[in-house]
Amino acid sequence: MAVTEAKYLIFLVVSIIRSAEAALVEMWTVYYRQGLAIISDYKERIFSWYRFVMGPDTENNGDSVASKLFGTLNGFMRKFLFRILSVGPVPNHLAFILDGNRRYAKKWKLQEGTGHKCGFWALMSILKYCNELGVKYVTIYAFSIDNFKRRPNEVQYVMDLMHEKIEGLLKEESIMNQYGVRVYFIGNLKLLPERVRVVAEKAMKATENNKNTVLLICVAYTSTDEIVHAAQESCQHEWDEIQAMKASESNDGGEIISNENQEEHRFINLVDLEKYFYMGVAPDVDILFRTSGETRLSNFLLWQTSTCLLYSPRALFPELGLRHLVWSVLNFQRVYPYLERRRKQV
């Protein structure tokens, strides 16, 4: 009981700190809304301030004494908090539906597309926190197959931004190499523009030796497409096995295939199906985040989320921060015994 009370006390303290941080962000957005256009000379100044408050590299984002002090204090508080959280079960796999980037830009009257950039910085922060907490797998729903139906100029902007950010992952000083993050791109990658697909393959190759955290980026993905793909691949595999057995029968002078062997290849079981899932490189999800207060799964990881905690904060994705991650982990630890019982029943 004492440990539980300590967790909630620490959470309260951190919530106060992060609320003050959120207030600084709001000051920034008001400052922006009062006339500093994103295309003006102030753009870098604005985004540097935003990165200072919300960015992934808070400890190293400025030479001033204030920024270094802020970064050191922030890092110390996180480490202390994560040490307390690690007394209980720590989730192994977190998944995020990145909802609210466009609404965030509209809410603060930002230029179209700026919400996606703010969402990217929020993602880098969350990835850093997960690494420090000891979460092994992080999956994000970056772009659905259904998103291709949006306005062509919006799709083009997202593809350009994706290409730019993936190229950034290849840099030696990127957060992926800094924290030992291995990257997988999950989905029907053939649907992506060739330049995006090529740079995605390069990023997967460049990070294949990183061992700390695994980041799975779902692009051109839906769960139904994944299941159909796995079923098709399983059927093709079984068909190839049957054809190989028939060829072997012919070569052996007409030896008849046993009924046992025929039955073995007549049905597809769960193990066969899961072997061909795009998400086969990761375990089932422990916590699924859907920002903006939505509770729809939007055709995301339907197979892998049957025994997980669904966490739906009202914050838009660019507003997602440490306090949301901490609260979700506390809720996960509270329902962990129930989730474990459910998993044993499946």
Contact between 310 and 290 (Cβ < 8 Å):
yes
What dihedral angle (degrees, nearest 10) is formed by the CA atoms of 260, 261, 265, 266?
-40
Cβ-Cβ contacts under 8 Å for 201 (sequence gap 6 or more): 185
Cβ count within 10 A of residue 219: 25
Give the active site residue among 63, 99, 146, 284.
Answer: 99
Single-letter amino acid, residue 23:
A
User: What is the C-alpha to C-alpha distance for residues 254 and 248, in angstroms, rounded to an integer?
Assistant: 9
User: What is the C-alpha to C-alpha distance for residues 53 and 49, in angstroms, rounded to an integer?
Assistant: 6
Cβ count within 10 A of residue 329: 27
Pairing type for strands 213-221 and 287-290 reads unpaired
User: What is the C-alpha to C-alpha distance for residues 213 and 120, in angstroms, rounded to an integer?
Assistant: 18
User: What is the C-alpha to C-alpha distance for residues 187 and 277, in angstroms, rounded to an integer?
Assistant: 9
41 is catalytic: no
User: What is the C-alpha to C-alpha distance for residues 104 and 326, in angstroms, rounded to an integer?
Assistant: 22
Contact between 10 and 81 (Cβ < 8 Å):
yes
Instruction: Name the residues annotated as catalytic.
Output: 99
